[in-house]
């Protein structure tokens, strides 16, 4: 998407093709710094330490990491296991690694690196196409919302960062917003700060500003108040995993937004590609919830270094589960569906 007026993707091959170039998202929005990853160990660290994050982008980064491991002569299964363990909740990580394994397993060793990089490139290109399709289907929803109140902008509430910084380009839940803005449909986004890592305040707001989309950052606890006052037309979020029954695992705090939306009759939409649908996991209760360091709660990121917020210790579950009964619809590359329509995502798009 747009960065300083120029179009960028969040991950791309280096000039020599041997590595990848990513944004160090830990430094945004204060510093825009591109870094090169040239080994599986670097890719694993970037995922685990959240230099790069977001379910689809984690998958693409891991795929390139496995390709770099093969180019370096690393043992395939060991590299796979290490990358898979980098973060446990987002299903795209395993999906992408499995696609690379599928592409190279039966090839001679000398042919594996080239095939792995080709598969990683294909995963990245597909992610862009999937997000564009999600954007087109979501745009129809935004047009319908605007038609109900054509004298004002469509007010959307967004939690965490489901944007191009979480994908290869366009984003999942942000894709309809960017397309709406580009066609002249007036939209305004309430951006949850998304504690404890502040992905909303730091990343989503950064993205929306770069694209020129009107937005306002709010505290995580303000959403219910705004919904009660009629200032939210829809909640629009991404997800790290959707289980077979339609339960949605997303950044901690998403469940509370869904409860408030249900209580106030506000539509709650979840945007996802088929790569984030996990038909092998029956319900959200079966999803491993990542527990991150309590330091992320104790300290807040700031331009001049972390600021301490409390002298106490902290717990830090990174995700929660929103039951399918609270989801109005799922915006996918195949269209807008209910939980019963998710089964069509079990296979790759035709």
Q: Catalytic amino acids? A: 240
> 196 preceded by cis ω (within 30°)?
yes
Instruction: Give SS3 for 207.
Output: helix
Q: Rounded to 5 degrees, what are φ and ψ at 61?
A: -65, -40
Dist. CA 235–CA 2, nearest whole Å: 24
109: left (phi over 0), alpha (psi -120 to 50) or beta: alpha
Kindly list the distances between the CA atom of residue 1 and the CA atoms of 45, 132, 175, 179, in Å, as whole numbers in the listed order: 25, 12, 10, 11
Kindly list the distances between the CA atom of residue 4 and the CA atoms of 33, 174, 181, 209, 278, in Å, as whole numbers in the listed order: 13, 18, 17, 10, 36
- DSSP letters, 301-312, are --TTS-EE--SS
> 342 preceded by cis ω (within 30°)?
no
Cβ partners under 8 Å of residue 320, min gap 6: 249, 250, 251, 252, 253, 254, 255, 289
């Amino acid at each position: 998407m747009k960065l300083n007026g120029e179009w960028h993707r969040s991950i791309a091959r280096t000039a020599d093709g041997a590595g990848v170039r990513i944004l160090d998202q830990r430094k945004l929005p204060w510093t825009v710094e591109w870094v090169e990853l040239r080994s599986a160990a670097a890719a694993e660290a970037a995922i685990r330490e959240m230099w790069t994050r977001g379910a689809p982008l984690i998958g693409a980064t891991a795929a390139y990491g496995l390709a770099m491991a093969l180019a370096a002569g690393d043992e395939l299964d060991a590299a796979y296991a290490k990358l898979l363990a980098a973060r446990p909740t987002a299903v795209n990580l395993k999906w992408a690694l499995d696609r690379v394994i599928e592409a190279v397993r039966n090839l001679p060793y000398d042919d594996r690196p080239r095939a792995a990089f080709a598969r990683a490139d294909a995963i990245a290109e597909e992610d862009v196409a999937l997000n564009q399709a999600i954007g087109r289907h979501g745009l129809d929803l935004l047009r319908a919302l605007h038609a109900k109140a054509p004298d004002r902008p469509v007010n959307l509430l967004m939690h965490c960062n489901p944007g191009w910084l979480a994908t290869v380009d366009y984003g999942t839940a942000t894709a309809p917003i960017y397309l709406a803005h580009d066609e002249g449909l007036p939209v305004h986004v309430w951006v949850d700060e998304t504690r404890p890592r502040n992905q909303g305040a730091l990343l989503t707001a950064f993205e929306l500003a770069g694209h020129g989309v009107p937005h306002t950052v709010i505290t995580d606890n303000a959403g219910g108040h705004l919904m009660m006052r009629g200032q939210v037309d829809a909640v629009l979020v991404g997800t790290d995993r959707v289980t077979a029954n339609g339960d949605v695992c997303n950044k901690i705090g998403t469940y509370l937004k869904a409860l408030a939306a249900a209580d106030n009759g506000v539509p709650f939409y979840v945007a996802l590609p088929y790569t984030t649908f996990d038909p092998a996991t029956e319900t959200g209760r079966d999803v491993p919830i990542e527990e991150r360091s309590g330091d992320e709660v104790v300290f807040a990121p700031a331009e001049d270094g972390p600021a301490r917020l409390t002298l106490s210790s902290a717990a830090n579950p990174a995700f929660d589960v929103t039951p399918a009964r609270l989801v109005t619809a799922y915006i996918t590359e195949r269209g807008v569906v209910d939980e019963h329509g998710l089964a069509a995502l079990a296979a790759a798009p035709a």
